[in-house]
Amino acid sequence: MAAIRPFRGLRAPKEIAPKLAALPYDVLSSEEARVMAQGNPYSFLHVTKPEIDLDPSIDLYDPRVYAKAKENFEAFRQKGWLVYDPGRWLYIYRQVMDGRAQTGLMACCSAEEYWNDTIKKHELTRKDKEEDRLKHVDVINANAGPVFLTYKARAEIDAMIDQITKGTPEYDFVAPDGIQHVLWVVKDADWIKKMQDLFAKVPVLYVADGHHRSAAAARIAKVRREQNPKHTGQEEYNFFLAVLFPHNHLHIMDYNRAVKDLNGLTPEQFLAKVGEKFTVTKTTEKKPKQATHFGMYLGGQWYELAAKPGTYNDHDPVKRLDVSILQDNLLGPILGIKDPRTDKRIDFIGGIRGVKELERIVDEGKFKVSFSMFPTSIEQLMAIADAGQIMPPKSTWFEPKLRSGVVIHTLEDLPA
């Protein structure tokens, strides 16, 4: 059963919060982060992407980068830009994008439940990225950004959250990208206890986004437990920051693909091979309208690809995913992309960038062909996690992204 825990949040005064909250570290390149933080000393990117304050020639995993993160984090606290709440509380975090809201509970979750699979995963992590987050958490002694979790919606939890959101929020601001962020602080001990009791009846949680953050947090807990002869299980390092959303609030966008060459084939040869497994039709439509269909942009022309019957296993929750169908019938056998996690010839473009980006990178000659995908559903994600299976890489793109720095969880053992 899922355990949630209130915590003493570290957060910005109301007037600073809109300037401090930042996009997560893993959706921005260092160059994009430098531009975004330019002229804004409050930006939490100075903590989550500290290389922006160092010479661009320094490797991202250099010890100086982590040392800079710690230096900047401590400076934020010394300047009063980040201040501890006086009690162990819970928080309600709402984001509104294009008129659609997702509202979740911000709390701490258990590293032990990560290991025993009460918190279910659906993606493999990359060791280098996991090590990076582990070092970052260890050096600054905090979870700088929350893990994005989901659970199967429950009416009792919805009703309690609705009760809080009728009140006045602590923060309510619109970020430069147009996404509204609203935060309510919940101090009522009875409400917090009741919410803990309700989540104790939730059988499992699912990692929607933040596999590297959750893996790093769980590993930190193991390391520190082994180093602490007086370990009790209640130390702050045993818990990590998360926002838990009901599954029916979430919006998964398409996660598209682009390949740099045609694997030695001419466009005509390539189209002929694609036609063996897909029905290929020229179209003006740029996005597929249903599962097992794909958009393909090649030579200035859009094509609709419809997977032919018998080209995939409709009874296997992983093999029937659109990302698997494309990989198993086209990217692998025709374009030679054997391992999309490591192959440098393929790139992945989040749906937030739109199909214009798929056209641009092909028209400019950076890529030879691009594919627009039908989004994976949250039900597919949960079915795969429940089956103990792993999704292919880059199967889901959640929007809006959780901001880092809205509330921070430190691993310091503080008085209640």
Q: What is the rounded distance in angstroms from the CA atom of residue 6 to the CA atom of residue 9?
A: 9
Q: Dihedral angle at the C-alpha atoms of 57, 63, 65, 70, nearest 10 degrees?
A: -160
Domain 254-394 falls under CATH 2.20.25.10: no
| pLDDT in the model for residue 50 | 98
Distances (CA, A) of 185 to 134, 191, 413: 28, 12, 21
Is 4 within 8 Å of 107 (Cβ atoms)? yes
Contact between 371 and 256 (Cβ < 8 Å): yes
CA nearest to 345, candidates 281, 276, 259, 269: 259
Measured between alpha carbons, how far is residue 324 from residues 161, 261, 307, 309 in Å? 37, 20, 11, 15
Position 276 scores a pLDDT of 98
**What's the rounded Cα separation, in Å, for the pair 350 and 401?**
12
Q: What does the pLDDT read at residue 351?
A: 85
Residues of the chain with CATH 3.30.1760.10: 254-394
| Whole-number pLDDT of residue 350 | 87
Nearest one of 205, 196, 202, 199 to 119, comparing CA atoms: 205
User: Splitting the chain (416 residues) into consecutive groups of 10 residues, what average pLDDT does each group show?
Assistant: 94 98 93 96 98 96 97 98 98 96 98 96 86 96 96 98 98 96 98 98 95 94 95 96 96 94 98 98 97 98 97 93 97 96 91 92 98 95 91 87 97 88
- Cα–Cα distance, 376 to 381 (Å, whole number): 7
